[in-house]
Each structure stands twice: as C-alpha cells, then as structure tokens.
A and B are shown apart, each in its own frame.
Chain A
Amino acid sequence: MLKFETSTGNTYAWINDIGIFIPANPILSAILRETSDQNQISKTNIIKKLKKDFDEKEIEYYYDLMKKYERVRNGPEERFKCITNQNYKDSILKKTILRNGIAQLILDVTEDCNFRCGYCIFSGDYIYYRNHSKRYMDIGIAKKAIDYYFSLIIEGKRYNPLRQPTISFYGGEPLLNFKLIKECVEYIEEKYKEYKINYNLTTNGSLLNREKAEWFMDRNCHILISICGPKEEHDRLRYYRNRKGTYEDIMKNVRPIIDDPRSKLGSSVVYDFKTDLFELDEFFNRQDVPAPILANLVAELDGCRYFEQFSETDKLRFKEQILCAQRCYINNFNNREENKRGSFFDLIFGSAFIAAINDPGSLTLNDPMIPYSGTCIPGKKLFVDVDGNFHICERINRNFSIGDVSKGLDFTKIGKILEDYVQHLDKCPTCSMTRMCNRCFVNLSADKDFICTSKSCRNQELNEIKLLSDAFTFAEMNPKIVEKNLEVP
C-alpha cells in the first residue's frame, strides 16, 4: 500500500496489486499489515487481534472489502508466471498485432531538415540517434510500405473490423519532400478508395505555404506544428542553420489558415530549464496561435548531451518554477476566465492529474507478454525509415528494427526485443506503481540494448507520489472534471 497526502491533509492509498485508490485509514492499514505475510488469517482472528483498537463492525467491513479484491488480485509472482510461460511465438505476436496494433503507418519521408534546433534528437547531441542527412524516401519504398500496411489492415479485419487506417508524414521536415507526400496520397486515394483515411503531418511550419495548407486541409489532415512559445523563446529553441530564428516565417504561414473552418492545427511545444512557463501559458491562450496538443520537456534520454549546458541553479530554478506554476494552476482553476480551448497549463498539469487518477489500469493487467511498464507491443505503430526498414516508433533510435517493406514485419525479431526488454524490468516486481507506469522502449533504450529499471527508475516512485498528491488535491477541488474525465477546461 502506497500512502500519499493531499495539501488539505487527507490521506489516500494506492493498492497496486489490485489497482485501486482508497481513502487510507488506520483500520485498513492494520488489516493489510496483518494479512501482508501471505498467511491466511481468518476474519475472527483479525477481529480478535484488532478489536481493542477499532470498532468490530468496521474491521469486518474492511476485511470483507479486501477479501473481495483478493479474488481479482494478481501479485508479482503471478505476473512473472505469465511471462515465463510465454515464449513470444510468431503466431501469437501476429495475432496480437493484428488485433491491437497497426494503428498508424508513419512514413519518414526525409532525414533532411531546414532547421537546426539544438534540442532535436537528430541534432547530434543524442549519440544513439541519427544526424540530419540529405536522404529522402523514394516512391517505390513508400508504395511498398503503404501496400504492406493495408494488407495488415485487411488481414486484421476479422479481429478489429472498425479500425481506420491512419497515415502520418514525419521527418526531418516532411514538407521538404512534399512531392512524395502528394504521390503517396494520390496512390492511396486511387488504390484504397473504399477506406476513410486519417492523415497526420508533423511539420516545423516554415514551408507550409497557402497552397500546401489548402491541399492538406482538403484532405482533412491533422497538422501538428512545432511552436515553442513567443518569438524570443521560440527563436532560442528553433532556428535555421545560420542560427536565425524561425518564428516569423512560421507564424506568417499559420495566421492565414488558423481561422479556416477546415483547418485542424495544433501546436507541439517543447521547453527546457530556461523556459518561462507562465509566459508560455499566456502565449498559448492567444487565439491566433494553434492550441497546444503536445507539450514536453526536452527529451532526457540515455546518451543525450543537451542538458550539459544547464547549471544546477538552472535546474533548481526550473523545479521551483514548476512547483509555483502548479500551485497557481490548482488554486486558480475555478476562478479562471472561460476559455473555449485547453491552455498550456491544462495540458501539462490538468491532463496529467486526470491521467494519474483515471489511467492506471484498474483491476486489469498488462498484456502477459509485457507484465510491467507502459510500453506497447512493437507493431502498435509502423514507422518506416527512408530505406524502408520498420521501427517500433518514431521516437526510438534506429537500432531496434522490426522488419522491412520487402519482407514485412519480422515477428522473431519482435519476440527477441520483447524478451530482452522484459529481462531488463528487474525492479518492477517490487515497485508499488507498476500499473501507472508510462515508461516504454524509448525511455529504457540505450544504444542497441535496454537499461535495467533498477538503474533508470531510481526516483520514479518519489515523483509519482508527488504527482498523486497534487492530482488528488486537484480532484478534491474539481471532482466532476476528474471523475467525468472531461477535457480541461
């Protein structure tokens, strides 16, 4: 049982084996203490033992409650039993992927980019990731990838008949290869016309002129533009080869289309230890800026040198800023002006609180192939690099290939990656927060191998306790928003 306290002084507990949050109270703690050594202790004996301190009826009530959950309880031993019996057979993996995977085909249309942002994973500061290059995907590879993806969609119909194909264009800067994107879409429209396709584009926005924007909007494409805040902040983080800022060029393209009813624009925000978060929140409340959809601190992955530029004072100051911003957000949530769309703070705080309470897979367990962590089974997405190799996703380095466009998915390779990954989850069986873990291949990957969770998750539990404490403080003040999983606001 993991206890945490809200700022109002209420104590709650998370019981990981079961997957529930409960108000922590001394009776329940005493019962769990008495039953924790796995010895079967009867209700009469527990009552006998505890009745000098607590009311008999209450002991009985909580004892029955815990007994009820024991029927669905699945402790660490049972979970590892699941995987040791599981040998990642190709046929099982294929079936799992056909049922739950292939949610998205991501085409890495070029490794080239007209920006040289310092924090980018392809900047050279991430030693296990590729650098920028002049390599472009050719249409032959793209068509093979598309055909293979649709063959899986068709084969998977018997497991997942309602799945809608989703095609995403990624890079480098994908609009540097707009010709290929156009050819791909025309090919799909011609060959797979019976499907309703979701298209996504992740772009830096500098080449998204009116003509291209019109073309994407006509196809109902979701466009995610990297915007890091007001001019000064954005230009500090996102610049051209000659270090010239990119803000003006992006906004020149965004402004004319933001009010177009067909446009589905969103901002992807990245910040670092020198960012003023309050300034960012104010900026993204502006109606002439696409609403923030994604917001992340610069990725702190193994082999990353980006953070060497920051001093301990920078880190400390940022930590204090986060605490202050979070406090302001919680205290002022009910007094804020009505806003039609979610704010930057809603994204980094409100959504995180709601997810912390609602996301842990209560009563259900992970897929037995991966008993711990929040990772997917490779094949959930199909990321295709310029050479036609398949990868787990766009965020992991290129050393974990899972097949290619000619031979298709390599289920033996996927099985080996899973086996290797699970062997590195050494700390997980004793962790009290496995159900709320969001770590995945990306966080645990090093060069060609994974890092053990005993090494990489050192402060994870402390961070989660702090998050839960804040999330429940927020929930006490805004119960409807959390329980009904409403989008904030």
Chain B
Amino acid sequence: MYFRLNPECHFIKGEVRGAIFDLIDSKVYSLDQKETKIIASYAVSHKYI
C-alpha cells in the first residue's frame, strides 16, 4: 500500500525525534526515535522557524 499522511497532519522533524500536528483536532502526537525514522522516510518534514 502507498502510505501518506492525511492533509491535515503535518510532520515536524526535530534533531532526534518528531511530532505530527493534527490541524483539525488540534492534537500533537509525539513520536519516538523509531517512529520518527519511519515517518521521515516517507513524509516531508515541514520547516519550523
């Protein structure tokens, strides 16, 4: 199957871990290193300022 994040979900990759921001539910899902690595291999990380 082809995996992609739903359009309301934005992946932000930090130095070590990452998070997914759900802009409809206003929820933040924290990812551990392993999860971050999996998501980062597919999804684009949005830049944070």
**Which residues of A pack against B, CB within 8 Å?**
6, 10, 12, 19-21, 23, 68-69, 71-72, 362-363, 472, 475-476, 479-480, 482-485
* A472–B2 alpha-carbon span in the complex (Å): 7
Interface residues of B in 31-49 (CB under 8 A from A): 41-44
Excluding A480-B41, A485-B44, 14 further A-B contacts by CB distance (< 8 Å) are: A6-B2, A10-B2, A12-B2, A20-B7, A68-B25, A69-B24, A72-B8, A72-B24, A363-B7, A363-B8, A476-B1, A479-B3, A479-B42, A480-B42
* A72–B8 alpha-carbon span in the complex (Å): 10
Measured CB to CB, the closest approach of chain A to B6, in angstroms, equals 6
* A72–B7 alpha-carbon span in the complex (Å): 12
Measured CB to CB, the closest approach of chain A to B18, in angstroms, equals 15
Measured CB to CB, the closest approach of chain B to A334, in angstroms, equals 15
Q: Is the CB of B44 within 8 A of A479?
A: no
Measured CB to CB, the closest approach of chain B to A351, in angstroms, equals 17
Instruction: Find A479's partner among B2, B6, B8, B25 (CB 8 Å cutoff).
Output: B2
Q: Is the CB of A483 within 8 A of B1?
A: no
Q: Which residues of B lie under 8 Å from residue A484 when comparing CB positions? A: 44
Q: Is the CB of A483 within 8 A of B44?
A: yes
Q: Which residues of B lie under 8 Å from residue A482 when comparing CB positions? A: 2, 4
* A20–B24 alpha-carbon span in the complex (Å): 14
* A201–B43 alpha-carbon span in the complex (Å): 37
Interface size classification for chain B: 10 to 19
Q: Is the CB of B42 within 8 A of A483?
A: yes
B23's nearest neighbour on chain A, judged by CB, is: A363
Q: Is the CB of B7 within 8 A of A483?
A: no
13 contacts between A and B (CB under 8 A): A19-B7, A20-B7, A21-B4, A68-B24, A72-B8, A72-B24, A363-B8, A476-B2, A479-B2, A479-B42, A483-B4, A483-B43, A483-B44
Q: Which residues of B lie under 8 Å from residue A23 when comparing CB positions? A: 1
B43's nearest neighbour on chain A, judged by CB, is: A483
Measured CB to CB, the closest approach of chain A to B36, in angstroms, equals 16
* A23–B2 alpha-carbon span in the complex (Å): 8
Q: Which residues of B lie under 8 Å from residue A12 when comparing CB positions? A: 2
* A362–B4 alpha-carbon span in the complex (Å): 13
Q: Which residues of B lie under 8 Å from residue A472 when comparing CB positions? A: 2
Interface string of B1-21 (1 = CB under 8 A from A): 111101110000000000000
* A68–B42 alpha-carbon span in the complex (Å): 24
* A337–B21 alpha-carbon span in the complex (Å): 38
Q: Which residues of A lie under 8 Å from residue B2 when comparing CB positions? A: 6, 10, 12, 472, 475-476, 479, 482
* A480–B42 alpha-carbon span in the complex (Å): 6
B25's nearest neighbour on chain A, judged by CB, is: A68
Q: Which residues of B lie under 8 Å from residue A6 when comparing CB positions? A: 2
Measured CB to CB, the closest approach of chain B to A330, in angstroms, equals 13
Q: Which residues of A lie under 8 Å from residue B1 when comparing CB positions? A: 10, 23, 476
Q: Which residues of B lie under 8 Å from residue A69 when comparing CB positions? A: 24
Q: Which residues of A lie under 8 Å from residue B7 when comparing CB positions? A: 19-20, 362-363
Measured CB to CB, the closest approach of chain B to A291, in angstroms, equals 25
Measured CB to CB, the closest approach of chain B to A46, in angstroms, equals 20
B6's nearest neighbour on chain A, judged by CB, is: A20
